[in-house]
Amino acid sequence: SQELEQSPQSLIVQEGKNLTINCTSSKTLYGLYWYKQKYGEGLIFLMMLQKGGEEKSHEKITAKLDEKKQQSSLHITASQPSHAGIYLCGVNAGGTSYGKLTFGQGTILTVHP
């Protein structure tokens, strides 16, 4: 089964700072999802990356997919307290399990004003 490892596990930054969260897969990536979760709430879909080298942005959040490295990175520019939460990467399980998502363990982001 495919496993995702996120780093760092937690991150504390000062408002205005840039930061990067990484998601590394144990197998080839055929598409990767990024979600954000606030404690006690559901997941908010941020973006999906399908192709190697693909890069997408949503407001101040940019995500890239590096197929060769089996890795995706999420970069937040000029972080704000509203960016705080848990960031989760997920992949389709593939094969007969297509449609199911496997998630990384999450990265807890704290942004101090």
Site residues for other proteins per CB under 8 A:
31, 33, 35, 40-45, 48, 50, 88, 92, 99-106
**Tokens standing for 30?**
């055929």
Q: How far is the CB of 93 from other proteins (least distance, A)?
A: 9
Nearer to other proteins, 30 or 75 (CB): 30
**Shorter beta-carbon distance to other proteins: residue 13 or 101:** 101
Cα 32 from Cα 112, distance rounded (Å): 29
Q: How far is the CB of 70 from other proteins (least distance, A)?
A: 19
**Nearer to other proteins (CB atom), residue 17 or residue 31:** 31
- Judge contact between 80 and 19, C-beta under 8 A: no
Closest-CA residue to 65 (of 18, 22, 96): 22
**First-last CA distance in the chain:** 40
Name the minimum Å distance from CB 101 to other proteins: 6
Nearer to other proteins, 15 or 47 (CB): 47
- The burial of 50, by beta-carbon neighbours within 10 Å (0-12 exposed, 13-18 middle, 19 or more buried), is given as exposed
Residue 41 Cβ, how far from other proteins at the closest point, in Å? 6
